[in-house]
Amino acid sequence: MARKEQFDKSGSPGQPLIGGIHGKIVSLPEDSQYLDSSQLHRLEESFRGWVEETLRADVRLSRRRILLIFLLIRYTGAKLNEALSINPLKDIDFARQSVSFRNDDSGSAQHAREVLIAEALSQEFYAMLADPEFRNSIEDGFGVDPGFVRRKFYERAQACGFSKETGGPEMIRKSRGVELMQNNMPLPAVQMFLGHSTPNLTSSLVTFSADDIRQITKHFMEKEFSRKTSARNAFLGKILSLQRGDIQTLVELSTIHGHRVTTVITNDSVVRLGLKEGQIITAEVKAPYVIVEKASEEPKTSAENRFKGVVEQVNVGKVNTEYVIGISDGTRLCAITTTESGRKLNLKKGDEVWTLFNCFAVVLHID
């Protein structure tokens, strides 16, 4: 039996996504797979080792070109023809930390799609292109046959113990999109990142501009290379309102999916953070502060933040039990209870639940 999956039809079949992510729907077989983050990392390390293992300068230059093409597809989700059509010396903007892909035959800048990359990746590209020999080898673009590139991708996949199809450029592009969604990057941002023509913003009553989505995308690119917070639950959104009181201010924000998050912070914190309506900000909640209630109807509670979801994972420990709960549009929340409380809840994968947390449990961050 086939299962309906959400993803770009240009990608290869992928493992079923966790959560109800809305997007382009394709029919995929039940046993289909994609590369997860650890497998993508293994594949990347295989490419890097392959470059270093040769002593011949001409072979190393050729392999470095393939590595650069792999890194472009791996981290920008580009199609193979997009990656091969760029001139790295002209289309990688180190000031903006972005790559411009031409999506038509004219090569016009008006038809370019700009994709953001993390600062660390931008620096690596800069170092690669600073080598005079390498610069000369790609002065007029990659000049590589697509079939040759595919063969090298297949070889690296097989060297990792994967099937060769798993290492194809289309699969890597697809896996990148799945990876971003599993990291809770909002779907409209993923759609724009991958070059889909019509990002779905209809789920939110708040207008997010292209600049807003760019800022959100940049947040996720940098977070991927540097994870410094211990908070498991993060909502990236736009401030809707600031209701100032004598001592504290009530802050309400909306995510790109329309989820509303409420917090209360001191007036001094509002000034120190420079908060204003329309600003993009991150609201974080530590897992122990998230309460889980097994119910199909919204509970009557004083907790300001309430989200309906479905249990996706239950990890039982000796002292604590961790629950991973998918709310709408693929966003996941993590909650931790004592294992004794978990026994009383008796939650199982697939159960409908409500996740609740108080406005005082929310911490705001400006990235």
Q: How does DSSP classify residue 14?
A: -
What's CA 178's distance to the chain center, in Å? 8
Same structural domain, 255 and 339: no
CA distance 124 to 92: 12
Is 352 domain-assigned? yes
CATH number, domain of 41, equals: 1.10.443.10
Q: How does DSSP classify residue 256?
A: T
Same structural domain, 9 and 114: yes
Same structural domain, 307 and 267: no
What are the angstrom distances between the C-alpha of 176 and each of 35, 115, 182?
Answer: 8, 13, 10
Same structural domain, 51 and 163: yes
Is 224 domain-assigned? no
Same structural domain, 147 and 253: no
Is 108 domain-assigned? yes
Per-residue pLDDT of the chain (367 residues; tens, 9 = 90+): 333 334 443 333 333 333 333 333 222 334 457 898 889 999 999 999 999 998 899 999 999 999 999 999 999 999 999 999 999 999 999 988 999 997 644 444 455 789 999 888 999 999 999 999 999 999 999 999 999 999 999 999 999 999 988 999 999 999 998 888 877 787 778 888 888 765 554 444 456 677 777 777 777 777 766 654 445 688 888 899 999 999 999 999 998 778 899 999 999 999 999 999 988 888 999 889 999 999 888 999 999 999 999 999 999 998 899 999 988 766 788 999 999 988 998 999 999 999 999 999 999 988 6
Same structural domain, 154 and 27: yes
Query: What is the domain extent for residue 102?
Result: 2-182
Split into its structural domains, the chain has a count of: 3
Is 366 domain-assigned? no
Same structural domain, 292 and 176: no
Is 197 domain-assigned? no
Same structural domain, 46 and 130: yes
Same structural domain, 323 and 265: no
Collapsed DSSP state (helix, strand, coil) of residue 153: helix
Same structural domain, 293 and 278: no
Is 210 domain-assigned? no
* Short-list 73, 67, 70, CA closest to 131: 67
